[in-house]
Amino acid sequence: MTNDKLKLQIKNFAFCIAILHFTFYIFNLSAVRASTMFSDSYEIQMGNLNMGAGRKDSENYALTDTMGQIAPGQYGETGYIVLAGFQYISSIIPFTFTISDLSIDFGSLTVDYFNEQINNLTISNGSARGYEVTVLANKQLTSQSASTIPKTTCGDPACTTSKAEEWTSTDYYGFGFNVDGDEKASDFTNSTYFRPFPDEDSSDSAQKVMEGTVVGTNKKVDITYRINISALQTAGDYENFLTFTAAPKI
């Protein structure tokens, strides 16, 4: 059977957002007082008297701080983390993550040709330590007859699930992806650099595709999915599932 009608679907892109639950214990210490003060024009959250506080700025950094608090810092035991201190007030930038399309359909694939589709990831992050987005497939692209489209090797040198390399020749077959945008993983040097997807069937680990180290809103990357097949590829309907996981760093 020829494969000029080979159809591929990548379905149900999923994502997980790690939500950290913070518990605050406030003890009745008469020497330390904090309250929320507001009027028609302003609101001060947890206003307090201390040694110093405020916002400091430079060309590359912005710092808010308070001094003189009782036992600020991060404390943890098995099962919980406590972030104590006024600087751990909830960020004004909610942590959000969106994927533009949860189902990618390549339709019929052309032999010895870079068949491509593009997806968009968008993230807003208020965590002072930044965030990262990783990806993991459940398996290689597989048909109902158990035929597979292999992971791309890109070229020479070969790419890996953790290191992108140039993929410019249609002499190299398989399935891979490129990342381009604001905060892409650093090994995607330009639009010609690709990696294969890690997958659970191969006991691979999820790999980073996007990372930020400062707060910000609507940071975006484009994921370009690429498939190149030979004339020997078995015809069929191929699919797998990709899981993108976005999490703030603490």
pLDDT at 147 over 60: yes
The answer to whether 7 and 95 have CB atoms below 8 angstroms apart is no
User: In sequence order, what are the residues at sequence separation of 6 or more whose Cβ sits closer than 8 angstroms to the Cβ of residue 81?
Assistant: 20, 22, 74, 75, 250
Q: What is the CATH number of the domain that holds 170?
A: 2.60.40
Asked whether residue 239 is assigned to any structural domain, the reply reads yes
Binned at pLDDT 50, 70 and 90, residue 73 comes out as confident
Q: Are residues 99 and 161 in the same domain?
A: yes
Same-domain status, 175 and 239: yes
| pLDDT at position 14 over 50 | no
Q: Is residue 1 part of a domain?
A: no
Residue 245, beta-bridge partner list: 16, 134
Instruction: Tell me whether residue 53 is in a domain.
Output: yes
Q: Is residue 114 very low, low, confident or very high in pLDDT (cuts 50, 70, 90)? A: very high
Neighbour-count burial of 6, counting CB atoms closer than 10 A to its CB (0-12 exposed, 13-18 middle, 19+ buried): buried
Residues 74 and 175 in one domain: no
Instruction: Measure the CA–CA gap between 241 and 175, rounded to whole angstroms.
Output: 13
44-57 pLDDT, tens digit each? 766 656 666 667 78
Q: What 3-state class would DSSP assign to 163?
A: strand
What pLDDT score was predicted for residue 148?
96
SS3 239: strand
Clarify whether residues 125 and 243 are in a common domain: yes
Q: How many domains does the chain have?
A: 2
Distance of CA 202 to the CA centre of its chain: 21
pLDDT on residue 162: 97
Give residue-wise pLDDT tens across range 151-174.
Answer: 999 999 999 999 999 999 999 999
DSSP tag of 233: S
The helix/strand/coil state of 241 is coil
Residue 168 forms part of a structural domain: yes
Residue 213 counted as domain residue: yes
For residue 130, the enclosing domain spans 7-19+95-248
Which residues are CB-neighbours of 44 under 8 A, at least 6 positions away?
36, 37, 38
Report the Cα 140 to chain-centroid distance in Å.
Answer: 21
Q: In 41-92, which ranges are continuous DSSP H helix?
A: none
Extract the tokens encoding 65. Answer: 């701080």
Phi, psi of 201 (to 5 degrees): -60, -30
Are the C-beta atoms of residues 51 and 60 closer than 8 Å to each other? no
For the ranges 66-70, 158-162, 205-209, 232-236, the lowest mean pLDDT is seen at 66-70
> 52 and 161, same structural domain?
no
What count of residues does the chain have? 250
